[in-house]
Structure 1
Amino acid sequence: MRDNAARAMWERYEPVHQLVYFAPEVREAMDGLGMRGYWMGYFALRAAPLGPVPAPVVTSCFYVFHPDRAASALPEAWSLAGPQQVIEARERAVDAAMTSLYGPDVIGSAELAEAADLAWEAAGAADTAGRVLGAANQTLPRPDQPHVRLWQAATTLREHRGDGHVAVLVGRGLGPVEALVLKSATGETDAEFQQRIRQWDTEAWQAAQDALRGRGWIDEEERLTTAGAAAHAQMEADTDAAAAAPWHALGAEATARLAHLLEPLARRVLDSGLVPPANPVGLTDGTWRAAG
């Protein structure tokens, strides 16, 4: 059975986190550090809490990218700006992006400060054994500005969840390309888009399709079979269960309160058009699930 709180909270904090990939203020900040192109900035921004690690380590953690995608950005990015510089730049950029999107009244509100503190408490309770990206983000200092603190907490929580999801995929013997093909088969995201941005060639994509057909999980039209739908649902349930610890620690009442506080913030991101409909994580503007 799915942990409804874990799923519901992901739907609320993920849009806030996603600002770092799509807000123009972030791209400007990365350009200002000398990063060349979107992908160099992306890999530097997301990998910075790990320190100046090489491309193979990042490929392993991020899981679904072709090794060449990370290698085109790292370690060159670290010669342009060290990880600490990138972390400081992303905090400044997130400050600017959130202030622009939400406005000073929301940014300075008691409700946002409350949300930031609740999210920070939940993120601090995340169990990070075996979860490298979650642990790296959890060790970062507590930002003074509530909205930046909220963003960092959301980032820790989503990387903690992502680490758990990768563990689920590995446990089911589902490789990076197979995971993308399966996700595309659910209709949550576009196959061509996923293949292109993750930089997998047609041969690798077709091999993954063949592997999933061999399992009986997709049909000849790359649609989920009954068995595939069941397998996907179980992996999502396992991911939710692996992401439950922060919400159990926070408690049902505080979790429900944080969900309520996050809803208008997440809705504003989704309504802004900053996050494209065909985004990699399959984030939609669908109906919220109950958080308790």
Structure 2
Amino acid sequence: MRDGSVARAMWERFEPVHQLVYFSPEVREAAEGLGLRGYWAGYFALRAAPLGPVPASVVTSCFYVFHPDRAAAALPDAWALASPQHVLRAREQAMDAAMTGFFGPDVCASDELAEAADLAWEAARAADTAGRVLGAANQSLPRPAQPHVRLWQAVTTLREHRGDGHVAVLVSRRLGPVEALSLKSAAGETDASFQQRVRRWDGEEWRAAQARLRERGWIDEDGHITGAGTAAHAQMEAETDAAALTPWQALGAGATARLARLLEPLARRVLDSGIVPAGNPVGLTGTTWDTAG
């Protein structure tokens, strides 16, 4: 893999494994077992738990693309039902069950998965977390004993590290949450109606964001991305990739390529299974990979 593309190539391989936390029935059952009723109560508590018992405003800031009302409907009420420590314990147990159920006990007990877990953990520990709140919070968690759970936690640290960097890029470009979602949708990476619904932005807010994108010349009157918008979007993605390079530089080219090869069959299984829905928020799609080397 070329240095300029390594961060994106690794994201494409580890993000599907991380995504199991949002769509596995074992995780939903664990959240409900804590008294967190409804998908979003579980989502916000499970993802925000590494931060401690923070208020909704902090989570809205970190997660960036949600309407404030979405987080406020779940937090801080969730912390009265289960402390962040209890949520983290339940999250780890749920991912043990989810990974084992999805990939099978033989894969989870394999030497290859244990090797992937250790390489990913090494990369995650090397991630630079200055100014990256979610990445730092996940990086500070203890090392899980079980390799498949360790792998999941490592790739979660890496994806939150990358996400923190992406938010910094958006802020530096003065691209607010709704504009970012609208541009991503116009670029064909996700579904606009899906994004608007799950992030809880109303039609007026969405149209206002589109108007601001038109003023910048990034979308046309029909909401289609323009050449200038395509260039701006590509530049922001390149800046996000560049900001996410540190873990892979620390791990080294050979070990990074080895981890990529170990993650590929896991990522393919997730993407091919359909467990992650089409039009999903992060824009995951089936990917054709060249052999890493």
- Percent pairwise identity: 78
Contact 2:60 / 2:71 at 8 angstroms: preserved in 1? yes
**Partner of 2:111 in structure 1?**
110
Post-superposition offset of 1:290: 6.2
CA distance in 2, matches of 1:34, 1:2: 45
Secondary structure of residue in 1 paired with 2:276: coil
* Structure 2: 5+ residue stretches without partners: none
CA distance in 2, matches of 1:94, 1:218: 40
Aligned CA distance change for structure 1 residues 16 and 162 (closer, same or farther; 3 Å)? same
Contact 1:218 / 1:228 at 8 angstroms: preserved in 2? yes
Contact 1:8 / 1:290 at 8 angstroms: preserved in 2? no
CA distance in 2, matches of 1:71, 1:15: 27
Contact 1:2 / 1:241 at 8 angstroms: preserved in 2? no
Post-superposition offset of 1:220: 1.1
CA distance in 1, matches of 2:119, 2:45: 28
Contact 1:7 / 1:240 at 8 angstroms: preserved in 2? yes
Contact 2:16 / 2:270 at 8 angstroms: preserved in 1? yes
1:214 aligns with 2:215: yes
Post-superposition offset of 1:291: 5.0
1:92 aligns with 2:96: no
CA distance in 1, matches of 2:21, 2:28: 9
Contact 1:177 / 1:204 at 8 angstroms: preserved in 2? yes
Post-superposition offset of 1:3: 2.5
Post-superposition offset of 1:277: 1.2
Contact 1:55 / 1:75 at 8 angstroms: preserved in 2? yes
Q: Spell out the pairing of 1:19-38 with structure 2 (5 A cutoff).
A: 19-38=20-39
1:55 aligns with 2:69: no
CA distance in 2, matches of 1:286, 1:6: 15
Consecutive aligned runs of 4 or more in structure 1 exceeding 2 Å deviation: 288-292
Q: Number of aligned pairs?
A: 292
Contact 1:184 / 1:191 at 8 angstroms: preserved in 2? yes
CA distance in 2, matches of 1:278, 1:168: 23
CA distance in 1, matches of 2:84, 2:129: 21
Q: Structure 1-normalised TM-score?
A: 0.98
Contact 2:66 / 2:200 at 8 angstroms: preserved in 1? yes
1:268 aligns with 2:273: no
Post-superposition offset of 1:2: 7.8
CA distance in 2, matches of 1:219, 1:283: 25
Q: Spell out the pairing of 1:1-292 with structure 2 (5 A cutoff).
A: 3-288=4-289, 291=292
CA distance in 2, matches of 1:226, 1:289: 28
1:130 partner letter: G
Post-superposition offset of 1:289: 5.6
CA distance in 2, matches of 1:83, 1:3: 37
1:71 partner letter: A
1:144 partner letter: A
Contact 2:261 / 2:291 at 8 angstroms: preserved in 1? no
For residues 22-64 of structure 1, the C-alpha deviation after alignment (integer angstroms, 9 at most, x for no partner) is 0000000000000010000000000000000000000000000
Post-superposition offset of 1:270: 1.1
Contact 1:55 / 1:71 at 8 angstroms: preserved in 2? yes
Contact 1:8 / 1:291 at 8 angstroms: preserved in 2? no
Post-superposition offset of 1:217: 0.2
For residues 111-145 of structure 1, the C-alpha deviation after alignment (integer angstroms, 9 at most, x for no partner) is 00000000000000000000000000000000000
Contact 1:247 / 1:255 at 8 angstroms: preserved in 2? yes
RMSD over aligned Cα, in angstroms? 1.1
Higher relative contact order (CA 8 A, sep 6+): 1
CA distance in 1, matches of 2:46, 2:156: 11
